[in-house]
A and B are shown apart, each in its own frame.
Chain A
Amino acid sequence: MTSSTILENVLEKKVLLLGNQGFARGALEAGIQVATGYPGTPSSEILETLAGAAKAAGIYVEWSVNEKVAFEVAYAASLAGVRAMVAQKSVGLNVALDPFMVANSVGVEGGLVVIVADDPSGHSSQNEQDSRWLGKFAEIPVLEPCDPQEAKDSVKIACELSEKSKLLVLIRTVTRVSHVRGDVTLGDISKERREPKLNRDIVYSGFMAVPKHQQHHQRLDSIRGELERIPFNRLEAKGGEKLGIIAPGVGYTYAKEAIQLLGIDDEVAVLKLGVAYPIPEKLVGEFIKNYEQILVIEEGFPYFEEQVKAIAYERDTRPRIFGKLSGHLPQEGELTTEMTAEATSKILGKQYVPVPQIIKSIEKDLIEIPERSLSLCAGCGHMSLYYAMKHAFKGGKKDSYGKNFIVCGDIGCYAVWLYPPYYMFNTHICMAASIGIANGFNKVGIEELVFAFIGDSTFFHAGMPPLLNAVWNNSKIIVIVSDNATTAMTGNQPSPSTGVNLMGDSSPIIKVEDIATAMQVPFVRVVDSYNIKQVMDTIQEARDSNGLAVIVGRRLCAEQARRQLRRRGLTITPPTVDEEKCTGCKLCIQELHCPALVWHEDTKKVTINPVLCVSCGVCSQICPTNAFSGGEGIDCL
């Protein structure tokens, strides 16, 4: 559905697009020639969609090793006069902040668009942050589209603004724009393809910060007027309303829904905004003059709410300004229609009943139902490493989860271990922090053995410097790298361990153990993640080596394996369970939580779901009564 739709050039045609597909289409309409990024929810589909059309469109799309590199690659394209784009999630922009905060003042040549996808409520992130502040911090224009149509339109608008002002432009999106599908009217795909050319008479440097900064401010001033007039800004007012709502970005959709729900269309005026920096002071200033009460409905921190107060002060007008700071909306978590309706009705003195009477009346009849817990996929290599780590050492002082060692965790599918029933991680901070923090625990002198657990993509992203730090500063830690040859959590994107890049071109397969050896790590071993005894023995050897150790567990991601099997028309023969030998002890289920293990309440026995099983053989290895046997495995790949 997607690649062909993205390339379709039937002008004015309406199609169903995911917000992120809208950004990809927008890139084609804007004439972006180089697009880079790193996978991260909720941004990953932007580059994935564009990559599907890259060869046909004659453009270059790259997953870079991390967001800092991604920014630098795209920036170079921009300096060469070509339009470029970077896409990443919120915390990804944090990684790119170093070059971002110099390029802002040094300026661009070809339009440079940076798309940052925030994750309010942190559904798939280690935090929730409002990246509009990063645009303000960098003093560059920030656009805030509210739906898939605006997402598409924003890229071309951003490119034109960028080239006019010579500033890079930030587009801030959120989950409820990027991951929403909506009707989008297509525009014309740009046929312009510029020849890259670096002006070698200019030195693109941040040096001489003060004059650079002055020039930066002049460039910003030159487009303030135009930013007020962007079509994403729109006043919806008849006059004489009791309440004025300022609704930037997706906040607009919640505001309109609440107004409709409460039936107060005539009582509320709405200033829809799609520019977050510089704040459209004229529009806002004119708006707040007309109402005694203002409510700001925005996704994120009270960004507009704070600045609207400053604008009011400057214009000598004193409406009461409500929002998150006033306590009408929560300062944490994402917006909902219910909280928006609650806030609006409270201010207007209206009644709002979110739960209909009939539902209230049956509340006592509702039954408690089981949750579905998180688990790794059937046959996941991380899972067997988890089992081996947990059982590698007997004795020692155990914590409340039965562990007698410390594990610094990292970003990836294995993050599931933060939750019940695993509870494997003691820390879980950011990309490759597992190794950095493990370093620190060892240096500060914690008595327990310290592990760092990290995947291959995360290792390539940011794990090399802290490993080098461990060598150079003599940290005694055991680093377990689970290499499944992919970036799995975000949707199985290729990584330096896969053998192919985003353009589909083959590339060398980089091996973690080669890097560790080159760094002179004293103990480097490669193990078969599925071989429990081998992994446990190696972990014990690593501990006995009394120094820095890297153990690489290698097995292809089970989901990738299942896909490859399907594609090649191969089937797996799962192990059989001997009903006589199975005592129903549930050890396999409790230790592995493998979705392919099916517990039967009636027979009190375990069977295997052949659709999910890849015959990794781990259950066979750990069953205390040897009830599993046979199974033709995943080694055929």
Chain B
Amino acid sequence: MIASNQNINILIVGIGGQGVLVASQLIGTVAVNSGLKVRISEDIGQAQRGGPVVSHIRLGGGSYAPITPLHTVDLVIGFEPLETYRNTVKFLKPMGDIVFNTRPIYPAWNPKEELHYPPIDKMAEIMKKIAREVIPLDAADLARKAGNPVAVNMVMLGAATAIALPFTPDAMKGLIKDTISRDITSNLQAFDYGFQRVKSR
């Protein structure tokens, strides 16, 4: 668990529609139910129009400011590779962990047309220079296998629980069961696939 004057900083990044906010609220609620101090700041800007979403989750009595200070994030949970890279270089602490979905979402249009979407292994290589662990997984594929193609966020939550979230898989799944109103079985299955995939690495 987290000592009263300590904190853990988690960043969830992705594209609008991938379920970043649902995932961050789930973590936040499990945390509140465990008696932890919680601060979540969401940068949602143009999320409705396929824009990036960044959620800063700070757990524990040692956190004060609403936004994570630069280079202090313990865990980046990336629903999309480009956004994972973008926010890792800004926010991940040295020896922090990254778990990310390798399925890209290409920008609809970008102002510098000559700038292409970089190769994912190139971005991973750079992130490995900062991080302790960089764990890629095809969350979109795992979600599909679970019978729920949009449950990328559940896969990623499972993955995060296996590496650095201070909660048990049962605590997370218990809340998912209470909160999600539809497709509970496939959502929990997606969570399990993500969890197992990272646990067995």
A513 within 8 A of B: no
Q: Are B129 and A181 in contact (CB under 8 A)?
A: no
Contacts of B110 in A (CB 8 A): 370-373
Q: How far is the CA of A143 from the CA of B86 in the complex (A)?
A: 37
Interface residues in A238-268 by Cβ distance below 8 A to B read 250, 252-254, 256-257, 260-261
Docked-complex contact A377 and B48, CB < 8 angstroms: yes
CB distance from B63 to the nearest CB of A (A): 8
Taking a contact as CB atoms under 8 Å apart, the answer to whether B64 and A257 are in contact is yes
Query: Which residues, 145 to 188 on B, are CB-close (under 8 Å) to A?
Result: 179
Asked whether B109 lies within 8 Å of A589 as measured between CB atoms, the reply is yes
B52-A362 in contact (CB<8A): no
Chain B interface category by residue count: 35 or more
Q: Min CB distance, A378 to chain B, in Å?
A: 9
Question: Which residues of B are found within 8 Å of A356, using beta-carbon distances?
Answer: 71, 93-94
Query: What number of A-B contacts does a CB cutoff of 8 Å give?
Result: 147
- Encoded as 1 (CB less than 8 Å from any A CB) or 0, chain B from 44 to 87 comes to 01101111100000000011111101110000000000100110
Contact of A370 among B15, B70, B93, B117 (CB under 8 A): B117
Is A375 in the interface zone, CB < 8 Å from B? yes
> Which residue of chain B has its CB nearest to the CB of A5?
B29
A180-B40, A372-B107, A375-B108 known; A359-B71 Cβ under 8 A:
yes
Is A15's CB within 8 Å of the partner chain B? yes
Which partner residue on chain B sits nearest A377 by CB separation?
A: B49
- A15 to B94 Cα, complex, angstroms: 33
Nearest A residue to B110 via CB reads: A370
Q: A1-B25, A181-B25, A182-B40 are in contact. Are A370 and B82 (CB under 8 A)?
A: yes
A176 in contact (CB, < 8 A): yes
**Complex Cα–Cα for A323 and B153 (A):** 42
Q: Is the CB of B122 within 8 A of A367?
A: yes
Q: Does A421 contact B (CB under 8 A)?
A: yes
Alpha-carbon distance A176/B71, docked complex (angstroms): 20
How far does the alpha carbon of A597 sit from the alpha carbon of B65 in the complex, in Å? 40
Min C-beta distance of B142 to chain A, whole Å: 19
How far is A366 from B129 in the complex, measured between Cα atoms in Å? 11
Q: A593 to chain B: which residues have CB within 8 Å?
A: 108-109
Interface residues as binary, A215-240 with B (CB distance below 8 Å gives 1, 0 otherwise): 00000000000000000000000000
Query: Is A261 a contact partner of B129 (Cβ separation < 8 A)?
Result: no
Closest Cβ–Cβ distance, residue A457 to chain B (whole Å): 16
A491 to B65, CA, bound (A): 27
CB distance from B130 to the nearest CB of A (A): 6
- B54 vs chain A, min Cβ distance (A): 12
Chain B neighbourhood of A597, CB < 8 A: 108
For A376, give the chain B residue with the smallest CB separation: B49
A336 within 8 A of B: yes
| A369 lies within 8 A of chain B by Cβ | yes
In the complex, the answer to whether B89 meets A358 with C-beta atoms within 8 Å is no
Residues of B contacting A366 in the complex (Cβ-Cβ under 8 angstroms): 89, 126
A144 to chain B, nearest CB (A): 15
- Tell yes or no: B190 within 8 A of A by CB: no
A476 at the interface (CB under 8 A from B): no
A354 at the interface (CB under 8 A from B): yes
The winner among A123, A147, A369, A375 for most chain B CB atoms within 10 A is: A369
Is A367 in contact with B126, judged by CB distance below 8 angstroms?
Answer: yes
Q: Which residue of A lies closest to B39 (CB)?
A: A182
Is A180 a contact partner of B66 (Cβ separation < 8 A)? yes
Contact flag A359-B89 (CB < 8 Å), given A16-B29, A182-B38: yes
Within 8 A of B (CB), among A347-364: 354-356, 358-359, 362
Chain B neighbourhood of A358, CB < 8 A: 94, 129-130
Identify which of residues 16-60 in chain B touch chain A, using a CB-to-CB cut-off of 8 Å.
Answer: 25, 28-29, 31-33, 35-42, 45-46, 48-52
Question: Which chain A residue has the least Cβ–Cβ distance from B22?
Answer: A1
How far apart are B153's CB and chain A's nearest CB, in angstroms?
15
Return 7 A-B CB contacts under 8 Å, by A number: A180-B40, A183-B32, A253-B66, A358-B129, A370-B112, A372-B107, A373-B107
Where the two chains meet, the residues of B that have a C-beta atom closer than 8 Å to any C-beta of A are 15, 25, 28-29, 31-33, 35-42, 45-46, 48-52, 62-67, 69-71, 82, 85-86, 89, 93-94, 106-112, 115-118, 122-123, 126, 129-130, 179
